[in-house]
Structure 1
Amino acid sequence: MTKTYNVLFLCTGNSARSILGEAIMNAEGAGKFHAYSAGSRPAGDVNPYALALLKRLGHDVSDLRSKSWDEFALPDAPRMDFVFTVCDQAAAEECPFWPGQPMTAHWGLADPAAVRGSEAEITLAFSEAYRMLRQRISTFASLPIASLDRMSLKNRLDEIGRDAIPVSTE
């Protein structure tokens, strides 16, 4: 039996980037990973552009909601194996204690929800955030996690966050 790893994506508002990460990981890593998302100060609602993009790309959005990271620090919360911050503000905040000492990394991205402009410009910003997260998550999901020592894995996670990964030419 193969272990299923729990992954938590964190952002301040938990309305866009972390939500995208959760949806992508649950699709890309199905069977190997189970993803969640949360925020330090949740917005309360998932950004409509994030939802529209995910629906258009065939993701299940029925369970997506903006929630506090405090939910994942409770005794009955799922035990995380990996915690990724996807915004600089959340990365700088003091996080709750995560039981089990999960592996952490910062995968910062520009906030598509902060983009002001035309409908096309906003949609493009969300598409770009999705593309970057999908590339990082695909790279992460393909790592031989069980065979890597903790330091090698941590180095690889940091490289992924710095985009020091080969860019596909497909």
Structure 2
Amino acid sequence: MSERKRILYLCTGNSCRSQMAEAWTRAIHGDRYEVFSAGVEPKGIDPRAVRVMEEAGVPLSGQRSKSVEDLPKVDFHFVITLCSHAQESCPFFPASTRRMHVPFDDPPLLAKDAASEEEALDHYRRVRDEIRKFVEGLDL
């Protein structure tokens, strides 16, 4: 069997979207991809992201917020940026690394003016489900 392809999901804080993408990829395609996530400005994992992923049966346990410098020194086959800031601030990767940009809305920003906790969580759930759909279709 060939070596699993290595994917790095990159967003600003490595607190929500990239954490979700890492967990979904591991859960759905763990046999095909070795997956990592990082942020250009790590902030810690968002508790609401943890909550909505647990609701979906894909816990974020064992994951932590990290920068690219915190990752193992491996060559990534793919770096997928999930927000414009990460796309613009993406560090240099070798020419053999394929870069992709797949933007998703920022749940914390959307939830900022929510009238209730449930309304805030609905933003997280929508983005969680959009990321899952993207990951389900991965064929790199």
Is residue 7 of structure 2 the alignment partner of residue 7 of structure 1? yes
The number of residue pairs the alignment matches comes to 137
Q: 1:126 aligns with which of 99, 118, 124?
A: 124
Q: What SS does the aligned partner of 2:137 have?
A: helix
Shift of 1:100: 5.9
CA distance in 1, matches of 2:128, 2:80: 15
Partner in structure 2 of residue 21 of structure 1: 21
Q: How does 1:3-82 map to 2 (within 5 A)?
A: 3-43=3-43, 45-72=44-71, 77-82=73-78
TM-score by length of 1: 0.75
- Partners of 1:81 and 1:100 within 8 A in 2: no
CA distance in 1, matches of 2:73, 2:59: 22
- Partners of 2:20 and 2:128 within 8 A in 1: yes
Identity level (%): 30
TM-score by length of 2: 0.90
- Partners of 2:17 and 2:106 within 8 A in 1: yes
Which runs of 5 or more structure 1 residues have no equivalent in the other structure? 146-170
Distance 1:60 1:77, change over 3 A: farther
- Which residue type is aligned with residue 56 of structure 1? E
Partner in structure 2 of residue 86 of structure 1: 82
Shift of 1:53: 1.3
Shift of 1:84: 0.5
CA distance in 2, matches of 1:27, 1:99: 28
Q: What SS does the aligned partner of 1:61 have?
A: coil
Q: 2:91 aligns with which of 88, 96, 121?
A: 96
Shift of 1:131: 1.1
Q: What SS does the aligned partner of 1:78 have?
A: coil
CA distance in 2, matches of 1:34, 1:26: 7
Partner in structure 2 of residue 152 of structure 1: none
- Partners of 2:7 and 2:77 within 8 A in 1: yes
Partner in structure 2 of residue 105 of structure 1: 100
Q: CA RMSD in A?
A: 1.5
